[in-house]
Amino acid sequence: MELVTPTPRIVCFGECMIELSRTALGGKSWALGHAGDCYNVAAYLARLGCNASFMSAIGTDMFSNEMYEAWVSEGVGTEFVLRHPERTPGLYAIRVDSSGERSFSYWRDQSAARAFFECYGANAALAAASTARVLYLSGITLSLYTEQERDRIRAVATAVRANGGDVVLDTNYRPRGWPARVTARRAIEALASSVTMALPTLEDDAALFGDRDARACADRWLQLGVNEVAVKLGPKGSLVATASGHQMVSTEPRQAVDTTGAGDSFNAAYLAARLAGHAPMAAARIGNRLAGIVVGNRGAIIPRVVMPMALIPAEPNSA
């Protein structure tokens, strides 16, 4: 008997890892957390009041169990979390320089998430995800799997869009995760026809597709059939684009402590605002605000005490 679960409103599919981060710049102590781009989005969506579930695989070991408990404590739905009997979570460590820019070291080649399609319940999880209101994916998610497995992800995305749902993609291009740049380009372009909302970072898409600026990046996505695009530009803010035009949304200057998770938090706030009825421009301003708070804290998932209680206004903003 395979897994049977209710359909969540939002499904974020990807990998969560054990995160090691310095407790202070130049310090010797490390803090242990749990993070990964699509999980980060799910966690921030849950904090913003959205019905978000995480789809992934973990092991049966102590670290997997602690990770699972952390997801539950965040209010993230775990109905699509599968268990692999032999594998464990991946691990990564963050190093941050004085300007808040980070670098990563990874130990994840044999993570349970990479074996998602081997796990009991995978077929049922994918079938249920096909009827979700929103499917959230990233280039990192695609990089975890074989071409045949990416075809199965694309089938889920195609079904979601055909059912009137949204498929949201952050390119999140990390060269070390792919055998070659051309492989990454082909995988993302193959998925593009199923994507309704693109939330790329210009730096990533410039490296992968050669986009010269944010407008070129947005136009390329619109030409691929995406309904709306929000191109993240770091401290400069974001560029929002739809068929009706382009608009720059600036952000307030911030002193960055750690930029880990900034883009993920923007994506979550942008998506939550759009689902609440806010227009793309207003959603981008909300996304910029949360990202600005996140870069002022260490780690991908910031403490709850520094999360604004009312980040998303109750009344939709059409501006």
Please answer whether residues 42 and 135 qualify as being in contact, where contact means their C-beta atoms are separated by less than 8 angstroms: no
Strands 77-83 and 10-13: unpaired
Q: Which of 166, 205, 211, 264 is catalytic?
A: 264
Q: How many CB atoms lie within 10 A of CB 247?
A: 13
Residue with tokens 């909300």: 286
Say which residues have a Cβ less than 8 Å from residue 16's Cβ, sequence separation at least 6.
34, 35, 36, 39, 54, 56, 58, 67, 71, 89, 113
Does the annotation mark 264 as catalytic?
yes
Choose among 180, 244, 238: nearest CA to 214.
238
Please answer whether residues 22 and 96 qualify as being in contact, where contact means their C-beta atoms are separated by less than 8 angstroms: yes
**Which residues have a catalytic role annotated?**
264
